């Protein structure tokens, strides 16, 4: 009897340990600590590349800084699967598109952020958490 209890306890500890290890990996992947999740930044620029890739999509956009020099910003978005279920496709943004974009900026004045929303020059609104809306 004691041997069976010991086996059950060992299995329970093993399962608990595995669950804790897996949940730590999942939480680490979804950390937003690099971004200022309280602040937002909105700017207008030209899309240079839209990467429809896993695990996250990326929007690369040229933006003029206060001195007039062009800076290329990298904006992280959700996965293609997540975005496709909300109306996006690999051609939603194309190089040359003019957009006004709102992000949670990277901490430390780096040129990047986490996508919140954008509006194309046509008036089409792009949001990460919902559907694309026509002007």
**Rounded to 5°, angle at Cα 51 from 33 and 49:** 105
pTM: 0.74
Q: Where are the alpha helices (DSSP H) in the chain?
A: 2-29, 80-84
Q: Encode burial over 50-71: b for 16+ CB neighbours within 10 A, e otherwise.
A: bbbeeeebebbbeeeeeeeeee
Reported as a pLDDT band with limits 50, 70 and 90, residue 14 is: very low
Is 26 a residue whose pLDDT tops 60? no
Mean per-residue pLDDT over the chain, rounded: 82
Reported as a pLDDT band with limits 50, 70 and 90, residue 21 is: very low
DSSP structural state of residue 121:
T
pLDDT at residue 10, rounded to an integer:
55
Region 39-57: what's the mean pLDDT?
96
Instruction: Answer for the pair 44, 104: CB distance below 8 angstroms, yes or no.
Output: no
Residue 33 neighbours by CB under 8 Å, 6+ apart: none
Kindly report the backbone phi and psi dihedral angles of residue 107, in degrees, each rounded to the nearest multiple of 5, phi listed first.
-70, 155
Reported as a pLDDT band with limits 50, 70 and 90, residue 89 is: very high
Instruction: Answer for the pair 114, 104: CB distance below 8 angstroms, yes or no.
Output: yes
Reported as a pLDDT band with limits 50, 70 and 90, residue 135 is: low
Residue 123 neighbours by CB under 8 Å, 6+ apart: 134, 135
pLDDT at residue 29, rounded to an integer:
53
């Amino acid at each position: 009897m004691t041997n069976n209890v010991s086996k059950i306890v060992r299995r329970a500890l093993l399962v608990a340990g595995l669950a804790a290890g897996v949940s730590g990996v999942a939480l680490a992947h979804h950390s937003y600590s690099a971004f200022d999740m309280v602040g937002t930044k909105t700017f207008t620029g030209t899309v240079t590349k839209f990467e429809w890739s896993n695990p996250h999509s990326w929007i690369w956009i040229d933006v003029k800084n206060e001195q007039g020099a062009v800076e290329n910003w990298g904006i992280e978005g959700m996965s293609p699967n997540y975005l496709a279920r909300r109306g996006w496709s690999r051609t939603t943004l194309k190089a040359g598109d003019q957009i006004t974009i709102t992000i949670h900026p990277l901490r430390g004045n780096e040129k990047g952020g986490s996508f919140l929303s954008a509006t194309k020059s046509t008036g089409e609104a792009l949001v990460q958490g919902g559907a694309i809306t026509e002007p």
